[in-house]
Amino acid sequence: MAITGIVMMAYADGFHGDSIIGVAYAVGSASTSALYKVLFKMFLGSANFGEAAHFVSTLGFFNLIFISFTPVILYFTKVEYWSPFSAVPWGYLCGVAGLWLAFNILVNVGVVLTYPILISIGTVLSVPGNAAVDLLKHEVIFSVVRLGATIIICIGFLLMLLPEEWDEITLRFINSLKEKKSEDHAEDITDSSVHTRSRSRANGTVSIPLA
């Protein structure tokens, strides 16, 4: 649902030649992020504080080794062009890097120190928060498609708040409703048959059940 919301956001902005590549990168990023979270939960499960800190440090070390040379390769192969360092908005880059570091620490360590549902609610609130910033500061006009995309993304995050065995709980609830309905139906049939027998005896007739 989050990926659908991303595509709808791009559709609201209008598809162009460059935006298709951006949408592909956004969808790929969301997919790999979801895969990362699932694998983290599968292999580490409920990690303690030390395990979470060790994992984040190891992840940063591997990123430094295996990903840092990618921009250098793109530069020397003439795929990308580096502007002069004086023209780089270092303030914004450092601010984004600091916020991203704080986000990763709060998400990975906050789950251990607080409650997972608290971190999930904070992640959900980031979606309408960003929308409010776009609306107030950048004066972005929210069309029906953009509003629907925001709602779909929020629903996708809210689905993560469901318990792990939500499907089994739902099936047990549905089966209990069916059993209760069948019991009520059987009681209604029994009551009607008893009422029919008593009325037949009062009228002096005997009803013979058919095989």
Tokens of 27: 């969808």
Amino acid at 120: S
| Tally: H helices and E strands in the chain | 8, 0
Buried b (16+ CB within 10 A) or exposed e, 149-164: bbebbbebbeeeeeee
Confidence at 17, pLDDT banded by 50, 70, 90: low
Q: What is the pTM of this model?
A: 0.51
Average pLDDT value over all residues in the chain? 76
Q: Specify the pLDDT at position 165.
A: 74
Dist CA 72 CA 100 (whole Å): 22
| pLDDT above 80 for 35 | yes
Tokens of 173: 């609830």
Q: Specify the pLDDT at position 91.
A: 92
| CB 196, CB 207: distance < 8 Å | yes
| CB 165, CB 195: distance < 8 Å | no
In percent, the amount of the chain with pLDDT more than 90 equals 3
Average pLDDT over residues 42-47: 73
Report domain extents, the chain.
Answer: 2-167, 169-211
Alpha helix (H) residue ranges in 14-89: 17-43, 49-66, 69-76
| CB 163, CB 169: distance < 8 Å | yes
48-49-53 Cα angle (round to 5): 120
pLDDT in tens, 157-182: 777 777 767 778 888 888 888 887 77
| pLDDT above 50 for 126 | yes
